[in-house]
Structure 1
Amino acid sequence: MSHRFCFTDDQGQLWFKEALTESVGNCFRIDELIYEDSSDHHHIILFENETHGRVLAMDGLVQVSRSDEFVYHEMVAHVPAFAHGQLKSVAVVGGGDGGAMRELLRHTGIETITLIEIDKDVVDFSRKWLPEVSNGSFDDPRVEIVIADGVEYMKTTDKRFDLIIIDSSDPVGPSAVLFTPEFYASCKDKLKDNGILVTQNGLASIYPDVVRDSSRCFADLFAHQGFYAITVPTFSGGIMTLGFATDNATAFSPDPAELHARFQSSGLPMRYYTPDLHVGAFALPADIQALVA
């Protein structure tokens, strides 16, 4: 049987091949192929892997796995939430698996989350096949789901947000438009005073130009900007960078004691995020510092 992005080894075992670049890839053994299809926007494959559990890939790139999705989703959501301290309105561009919303909704002060996802099939698919990732977040009364192009939405919406999260796939193919100066400028225009923009900026060793170019864009638009680092085992290739840009000085460099106080007051149990890790994640290795200098 032939499948896109897959191959069969000499023993007849089916493997998924993630091609990060033309010269770098990563393979996952498909112990059970659950689903494979193409929508108007994406090729989607879902399979079981002994190490990572259920794995979702779109357009040949792994998006989420049961084993470690909490790493990314906790850090993309709780770092800005605890840094800001008073979030009311949030927009998530992409994020059709619902994981970022799941974590954000744990903050009771958040009143509205607008999910802007270009592909309704991704939302429907995630509801059916990865319900533990969203954990009911799609049906929370605070959530509005908008099926639309995130670029056009940010150009045209009248809404303003305390936090905008760009929860996109890697900066290639259809998602490349979410890493442009024009899109970042639209997002800045839709932030409230003291609002925060957080972006998924990919693996720094694989996409160094994207990290560098995003840093330059942020510096042109915001008073304070930088990147924080996470390591997700499923995403092979080293450190993943998340962009953080704001005009809010105290959110960009929060007092550690205040972070601890907010965290303790929230009472939220975590699997990855801690206030100390929050601060330390912004301490980047020298090679990434050079990219964003």
Structure 2
Amino acid sequence: MSWFEECIHPEIRQSIRVDKPIFEGETDFQTVSLFDNNLLGRVLVLDDAVQITQFDEHIYSEIMVHIPMVSHPDAKNVLIIGAGDGTVLREVLKHETLLQVTMVEIDGALVKLCREHLSDILQGAFDDPRLDLVIDDGAKYLQESHREFDVIIIDSTDPDDNSTALFTDEFYIKCKARLAKGGIMVAQAGCPAYQPSIRTHMSERMQAHFRYGGFYHAAVPTYIGGLHAFSWASDTLDLNAIAEQGNDTMRSIPKTRYYTSRSHKAAFYMEPAAG
């Protein structure tokens, strides 16, 4: 019997028992580990940090995706940067208004591994004809692209050597330039209790470039600290106000396990523990 140990804070660690190893190796960009745990199901680890587990990945992906997609009145074109495991893509594809989703992931080998080992979770997402999969650096893609998107979703790892370019003023300005009128940008913002610097960065850097901005949260049991933050920004739409008023368009989304009109509204009321 072996255990995987995760540490995102020097004073906090958690361990997950490895009941069945599936894959262990390196791509050109990161170390990858896949294993099964009897409680959590299949677990994906990148650079010693848990990314998703079969047990609760739907909480993260559904809240990250459906809040901006439901808040936008007619999201037809969506850009995903990162999210190589494919679960965010799966949720975007549930929206009937969607015409095309462009997914830009730097690590093609990761996508291949996830298609092979997470097929039960992905439900054929990478085979959907509305997908334009681009294996490239997200910041580079935004620099060279002239397309406009209704929703931009940044599902990067926490700031590291591979994702530093996704945490700069230059990157946020590029995102703003690629948003269509009425567009919304969202980005994962880490654990507010143990990673307060990410929240501060998003508030002072990402949101500062837009008229409206803020955070919403979800409780994801597997993630250290429990509560996970998402940063949002828009020049046109106030997601806080939309959540307060309520929005019934979520009825058009099939087969959500966590996301509802109630969890949508609740996400804006969850407050992080003091850092």
1:272 equivalent to 2:258? Answer: yes
How much has 1:220 moved relative to structure 2? 2.3
How much is the aligned-residue C-alpha RMSD, in angstroms? 1.7
Output the amino acid matched with 1:105: L
- Range that drifts further, 18-27 or 180-189: 18-27
Equivalent AA in structure 2 for residue 171 of structure 1: P
Structure 1 equivalent of residue 82 of structure 2? 94
Q: Which residue of 2 aligns with 1:164?
A: 152
Q: How far is 1:206 from its partner?
A: 1.8
Deviations 1:12-65 (A, max 9, x none): x21111121333221111111111000110100011112101101010000111
Amino acid at match of 1:66: Q
Alignment of 1:1-293 (within 5 A): 13-249=1-237, 251-254=239-242, 259-260=247-248, 262-264=249-251, 266=252, 268-285=254-271
**Gap change, CA 1:232 and 1:267, over 3 Å in 2:** closer
> C-alpha separation between the residues in 1 aligned to 2:136 and 2:209?
25
Change (3 A) 1:219 1:56: closer
Gaps of 5+ in 2: none
User: Cα offset for 1:184?
Assistant: 1.3
Q: What is the deviation of 1:106?
A: 0.9
The answer on whether the counterparts of 2:184 and 2:237 sit within 8 Å (CA) in structure 1 is no
What letter matches 1:112 in structure 2? Q
Moved over 4 A (4+): 255-258
> Distance in 1 between the 2:187 and 2:8 partners?
19
Deviation at 1:210?
Answer: 1.1
Q: How many pairs are equivalent?
A: 275
Q: Which runs of 5+ in 1 are unaligned?
A: 1-12
Which amino acid in 1 is paired with 2:100?
Answer: T
Partner of 1:5: none
Alpha-carbon deviation of 1:180? 2.0
Change in 2 beyond 3 A, CA 1:286/1:251: closer
Cα deviation, residue 221, structure 1: 0.8
- Between structure 1 and structure 2, the one with the greater Rg is 1
| Cα 1:219/1:67, change in 2 over 3 Å | closer
The one-letter amino acid of 2:202's match is S
Query: How far apart, CA to CA, are the structure 2 residues paired with 1:150 and 1:55?
Result: 25
Normalised by the size of structure 2, how large is the TM-score?
Answer: 0.94
Between 242-251 and 223-232, report the one with greater CA deviation: 242-251
Task: State the AA in 1 paired with 2:35.
Answer: F
SS at match of 1:253: helix
Contact 2:243 2:264 in 1 (8 A): no
1:179 CA drift (Å): 2.0
How far apart in 2 are the matches of 1:53 and 1:267? 25
Which protein has greater RCO, CA pairs closer than 8 Å, 6+ apart?
Answer: 2
The answer on whether the counterparts of 1:44 and 1:58 sit within 8 Å (CA) in structure 2 is: yes
> What letter is aligned with 2:257?
R
Distance 2:37 2:207 in 1: 41
Does structure 1 retain, via aligned residues, the 8 Å contact 2:190–2:230? Answer: yes
Q: Secondary structure at the match of 2:269?
A: coil
- Per-residue CA deviation, residues 62-103 of structure 1 (Å, 9 max, x unaligned), is 011111110011111110111002000000001111111111
Counterparts of 1:238 and 1:173, CA distance in 2: 25
- In 2, Cα distance between the equivalents of 1:148 and 1:170? 18
The answer to which of 152-161 and 211-220 deviates more is 211-220
